[in-house]
Structure 1
């Protein structure tokens, strides 16, 4: 297999069984062909059909929830073509059923994770050996190619800026760095045992060239570096690999104006529940890990299936019969999917995450997706250390938008030009009144996007009271302010 063989299972389910051996052999062939760009349409369809049947047998035989949820379904008759006849699995299902969703007892897993629980009950997300190996290979292939494109034959030191405890972040990237032979250091600046000052010292002393973090941390780290007297052009960081919230091209372009040596590339789109859905290429695009999923797009309001390309809410059916495979799982994410162009650095359709379904924002004459609002705010902007959008209702009933922006000091007249351009763009695209305020002391809630939601972190909507996500973000921001 590209970059090394997959490990054989050592205990999940039925270790050493003929069925397990058959899975690893078949998965290895399909994955090899996929990452070499040699997987034919016929072979992919044959793999998807066989794996769908295997997973449906698995969940109806071993998961109490799916035994009820799919009662009366002839799983042998379900194919990718008629998959839409099955009911959705929702986040509410996962919160209600908890361990009842699992396809097997917990001791068959290899590691336990759970969701953050910021907007609802934290749900169990254990992973078995099949889950870990088949999900991590997508990350490994992404990193192998991207690091080779940036650093050639040598491996850079990688800084992991994220929690590990009950979340997969630290374990996934630790494992992948080890497989690739890259030294890594865990320097999460929000940790009270690390903090920004120590993180920056370690980045400089250890010559850390790659940082894996949420997009907001690219800005927070720059602001902290300036506070502690660092020259951003002298720090060794050359590549930010981002995950956890939307990262638009406009955001990435702005980060490059703060960090002269660095570029931003999305590295992973996934979740605790659904594992690694897509990984990043050096082009800046995310590509779906096709051997592991069947993908559908639906209308988020009606549930109508829209196909597997275009724009809609992402629905996933997992093709690996691990400890918690999900069937027709509504992710709640709005995405755009298009076929990969010829010669793309990674195989699989390209996917762009435009925001959460719940984060759509009616503003003026339009409804904007999070990515559209961020693009409007940051298009052509340089030197922005952070921003927040405040929406108010005007006396005449119209909407007024105030964008608070933390800009690099010393820009002089450039600040006015940036502000005028942003305000004019927002007025043109939304019809709302818009103004820009330069504010070097932004609300700490802007750092909470990867913990709660992009909207809760970036938008204060005074037209209505704060929702549960906004209140949770406030609590997270309070802890952030204390620890940093």
Structure 2
């Protein structure tokens, strides 16, 4: 292992392993966590102010006394950091020079300038320790002798390295496969999946469906000709309805295992109880109203709904302070018996992906879950929204499925849409095309929704460009 050759990394790895073991064992109470987070917060703010040109300017009026008085519950004293800030600041956002990193990644740059996302050993050790600790029990369910496939969006993305390192920590073999690569391609990826055989697969929900379709196009049967036990999904919306469908396609268990971003790294990860849970040893979490920027407090059920804001609590290449992710989430306080005493997270889609249907505002997650409920066996889908002759919103749902698709459930979906959204629903069958494969690169809305009520957006144009290249 690398850390055995680097004393500083070896010490950090051992310390974090022990901390996470104690935390997962329930040995940290709320007071201990608050003291830990407060100390880390002060360290990170001082570190970013001293080393990042962007934060040196942004925090010019923030004195040592201000930092010493910061607490984890007074984060709102700090200014927000936005995605536009990252795009404009570029390398000035960094708190370490690139030469201090072990690897350079960047965002895809599909809807604006790509932003640098280097990782130091500190970044990788902190984030990969979370995943190793959380995934240990998740993956143990499927036995010791596993081969895990990893499908990522590009060679300059952290997916392959991160999951590869975590699987190595846990003792599992890894096969990194990029089916969209012209060198690998879907045919070779499917062949490797059968030959090894691959028992688990990290990929997006869209890739899971594309692989199933490509297998069928090749005369294979996803449910019978592969050895997949579990699909470990990340990178796109993953509503319960969609997960149920993917499980049926592959006859495998399906888990939503990671909420992360290239900019902010790991934000939440799967635990053995099936929930995505926050990682409070490496991040501080806030939820704000996306329209007013006001802090959202937990309701009577301990639930917060709004835009996620995170602050990294480790001294890496690019710690972010009060970073507005642009993502809508539902965060719920940990319930008794939770596998990890950390809040659970449902990722609802991006703030700008919200849709209004006849006056009802829906997130991407809720609309997908609502429309696809009870529809099983499709291998792709796309939503169309336009107006009828009375200028009421109406919905079209295009499914890619076999002719023997169970159509008896369609009328129930039509009635449900009419009763809940006062909207007509038309369901057709066909191929939506390559644009639906761009969700992880652009956005769920650009990939999955054709909104004829609005002009094409920058995201729509980016999705169309990527789709054209993939065709």
TM-score by length of 2: 0.94
DSSP-derived class of the 2:72 partner: coil
For structure 1, which segment, 450-459 or 33-42, has the greater mean C-alpha deviation from structure 2 after superposition?
33-42
Two-structure CA RMSD over aligned residues (Å): 2.0
Q: Displacement of 1:453 after TM fit?
A: 0.5
Consecutive unaligned residues of structure 1, counting only runs of 5 or more, are: none
Cα distance in 1 for partners of 2:26, 2:163 equals 24
Contact 2:104 2:119 in 1 (8 A): yes
Contact 2:326 2:351 in 1 (8 A): yes
Cα distance in 1 for partners of 2:310, 2:434 equals 34
Contact 2:20 2:133 in 1 (8 A): no
Cα distance in 2 for partners of 1:36, 1:408 equals 48
Q: What's the counterpart of residue 107 of structure 2? A: 115
Query: Are 1:351 and 2:345 matched, yes or no?
Result: yes
> Which of 458, 472, 475 is the matching residue for 2:448?
458
Cα distance in 1 for partners of 2:15, 2:30 equals 16
Q: Displacement of 1:257 after TM fit?
A: 1.9
Q: What's the counterpart of residue 461 of structure 2? A: 471
Cα distance in 2 for partners of 1:205, 1:104 equals 43
Cα distance in 1 for partners of 2:189, 2:440 equals 19
Contact 2:13 2:125 in 1 (8 A): no
Q: What's the counterpart of residue 173 of structure 1? A: 163
DSSP-derived class of the 2:320 partner: coil
Deviation digits for residues 343-384 of structure 1, max 9, x if unmatched?
Answer: 333442111101100100111230110011111121111111
- The 1:49/1:324 distance shift into structure 2, 3 A limit, reads same
Cα distance in 1 for partners of 2:435, 2:230 equals 25
Q: What's the counterpart of residue 369 of structure 2? A: 375
1:205-284 to 2 correspondence within 5 Å? 205-234=195-224, 235-260=226-251, 262-284=252-274
Q: Displacement of 1:267 after TM fit?
A: 1.4
Q: Displacement of 1:10 after TM fit?
A: 4.5
Query: Are 1:407 and 2:401 matched, yes or no?
Result: yes
DSSP-derived class of the 1:418 partner: helix
- The 1:118/1:246 distance shift into structure 2, 3 A limit, reads same
Query: Are 1:315 and 2:317 matched, yes or no?
Result: no
Q: Displacement of 1:51 after TM fit?
A: 0.5
Consecutive unaligned residues of structure 2, counting only runs of 5 or more, are: none
Contact 1:103 1:324 in 2 (8 A): yes
Q: Displacement of 1:176 after TM fit?
A: 1.2
Q: What's the counterpart of residue 98 of structure 1? A: 90
Q: What's the counterpart of residue 72 of structure 2? A: 80
Contact 1:419 1:435 in 2 (8 A): no
Deviation digits for residues 310-330 of structure 1, max 9, x if unmatched?
Answer: 111000011101110010000
Cα distance in 2 for partners of 1:227, 1:94 equals 42
Cα distance in 1 for partners of 2:140, 2:349 equals 30
Cα distance in 1 for partners of 2:428, 2:264 equals 39
Contact 1:9 1:130 in 2 (8 A): no
Deviation digits for residues 388-440 of structure 1, max 9, x if unmatched?
Answer: 001112232211211111123323xx32x23222222222221122211122x
For structure 1, which segment, 317-326 or 157-166, has the greater mean C-alpha deviation from structure 2 after superposition?
157-166
Contact 2:21 2:133 in 1 (8 A): no
Which 4+ residue blocks in structure 1 deviate beyond 3 angstroms? 6-11, 23-30
Contact 1:60 1:70 in 2 (8 A): yes
Cα distance in 2 for partners of 1:320, 1:240 equals 30
Cα distance in 2 for partners of 1:374, 1:462 equals 18
Contact 1:145 1:281 in 2 (8 A): yes
Deviation digits for residues 7-38 of structure 1, max 9, x if unmatched?
Answer: 58949xxx69xxx97x7776455323212222
Q: What's the counterpart of residue 180 of structure 2? A: 190
DSSP-derived class of the 1:81 partner: helix
Contact 2:16 2:129 in 1 (8 A): no
Query: Are 1:130 and 2:119 matched, yes or no?
Result: no
Q: Displacement of 1:76 after TM fit?
A: 1.7
Q: What's the counterpart of residue 329 of structure 2? A: 335
Cα distance in 2 for partners of 1:239, 1:275 equals 23
> Which of 47, 54, 65 is the matching residue for 1:65?
54
Deviation digits for residues 135-188 of structure 1, max 9, x if unmatched?
Answer: 00111123221111232xx13111111145211001101111222221111122
Contact 1:55 1:321 in 2 (8 A): yes
Query: Are 1:365 and 2:359 matched, yes or no?
Result: yes
Contact 1:222 1:259 in 2 (8 A): yes
- The 1:25/1:284 distance shift into structure 2, 3 A limit, reads closer
Contact 1:7 1:133 in 2 (8 A): no
> Which of 21, 35, 41 is the matching residue for 1:52?
41
Cα distance in 1 for partners of 2:272, 2:399 equals 29
Number of aligned residue pairs: 463
